[in-house]
Amino acid sequence: MLKEIDEILTRATASFQAASDEAAIEALRVEFLGRKSPLQTLASQMRELSPEERPAAGKSLNSAKARINDLLKEALANLTNKNIGANTFLDVTLPGREPGVGTKHPVSLVIDECVAIFRRLGFIVAEGPEIETVRNNFDALNTPVDHPSRDPLDTFYFSDGRLLRTQTSPVQIRVMESSEPPIRIVAPGRCFRRDTPDATHSMNFHQIEGLYIDEQVSLAELKSVLLAFARELFGPEVSIRMRPHFFPFTEPSVEYDFSCIMCKGQGCPICKNSGWLEIAGAGMVDPEVLANVGYDPEKWSGYAFGMGIERIAMIKYRINDIRLLYENDLRFLKQF
């Protein structure tokens, strides 16, 4: 009987390995494990064996049945694997999906670069909140109560009287009120104004503010710092110029232009044929502002400046519409 069992096993192994579809496997299951299977026939002949032969034969029958069950499972598993390979819904041979590697937003790139330059010039980074008080954004900055920038048509107010800061200048107030001079900080951050969006205006934008307070600070120092900044940012051939201007919190106030990096001052569409790019507002900190934060204007003096990050990004990366920076189109953002 042991020999017969061996023969059945050999046949079963060859048959299951050759079976190529579900129907063939099912037929083999019936043939080798069904009620009329050769193993079943042998089992019914058990009682004809002598008592000495029976245990070995029983054991061998059982293990043969278990082995054929395994053959059945293997055959079914092979069939499933083959189907997975052939089916369109899951092709296990395809490479996995690569998670995309992000890039820094151009606004972040410009902030990082400006901060790095000012750090080398001895400035440290300060920060303030985007929701500000009227006092920090306007009053303490010496802005008259009837100044047009306070109009709710220009500034976003909350019902509790606070506002979305319209500039990074309130950080000047926060820093001066929480520390003693000398002070040398830059404060990058988001600002908000109620502008109608177009190619050069956005309701939210970024500025980087600078503030230097010490004894006997001069306008010449402001000029040298901004010249050094301009050349680090745009190259050694850049020159700068100051034009008289007005800000409530600086006196005198100036606007800073950088010579156009595109046409080197010759005149082109970027600089509207003037050869100059408006970059920063600046000036000597108004003594009123120093008094507002409790500094002695007789002892302390300083300069401040503020510039638009988006404007620098647009010049640097030749972006012709500010709205591109806020649409989050990956085809645009991937280029940086």
The binding site for ligand PHE (CB under 6 A) comprises 167, 169, 209, 247, 250, 281-283, 304-306
- Rounded CA separation 7/27 (Å): 19
Could you tell me the smallest distance in angstroms from the CB atom of residue 251 to ligand PHE?
10
Tokens of 75: 């055959």
Taking the least distance from each CB to ligand PHE, the nearer of 142 and 167 is 167
Q: Which is nearer to ligand PHE, 28 or 226 (CB)?
A: 226
Q: How many CB atoms lie within 10 A of CB 220?
A: 9
As measured in angstroms, the least distance from the Cβ of 282 to ligand PHE is: 5
- Which lies closer to ligand PHE via its Cβ, residue 37 or residue 166? 166
Minimum gap (Å) between residue 266 Cβ and ligand PHE = 28
CB atoms within 10 A of CB 66: 10
CB of residue 219 to ligand PHE, shortest distance in Å? 12
CB of 327 to ligand PHE, least distance (A): 24
Q: What is the DSSP code string of 123-163?
A: -EE----SEE-HIIIIITTT--TT-GGGSTTTS-B-TTS-E
Give 174-179's long-range contacts (Cβ < 8 A, gap of 24+): 174/126, 174/128, 174/136, 175/126, 175/211, 176/211, 176/213, 176/290, 176/293, 176/295, 177/293, 177/294
Give whichever of 5 and 242 is closer to ligand PHE, judged by the CB atom: 242
* Residue 321 beta carbon to ligand PHE: minimum distance, rounded to whole angstroms: 21
Which residue's CB is nearer to ligand PHE, number 252 or number 267?
A: 252
Give me the helices (H) in the chain, please: 2-18, 22-33, 38-44, 54-86, 106-120, 134, 170-178, 219-234, 287-292, 309-316, 330-333
Q: Which two tokens stand for residue 89?
A: 């819904």
**Residue of minimal CB distance from ligand PHE?**
306
**Shortest gap between Cβ of 114 and ligand PHE (angstroms)?**
14
Q: What is the DSSP string of 12-47?
A: HHHHHHH--SHHHHHHHHHHHHSTT-HHHHHHHTGG
Least gap, CB of 95 to ligand PHE (angstroms) = 51
207 or 259, CB closer to ligand PHE? 207
Q: Which is nearer to ligand PHE, 169 or 259 (CB)?
A: 169
- Read off the tokens for 238: 């850049």
Q: Least Å distance between CB 221 and ligand PHE?
A: 14
Q: Quick check: 122 and 184 in contact, CB under 8 A? A: yes
Which is closer to ligand PHE, CB of 181 or CB of 210?
Answer: 210
Q: Are 230 and 275 spatial neighbours (Cβ–Cβ below 8 Å)?
A: no
Read off the tokens for 268: 């082109």
Tokens of 228: 């050094």
Is the CB of 209 or the CB of 257 nearer to ligand PHE? Answer: 209
Residues 6+ apart with CB under 8 A from 323: 197, 199, 202
Largest CA distance in the chain: 123
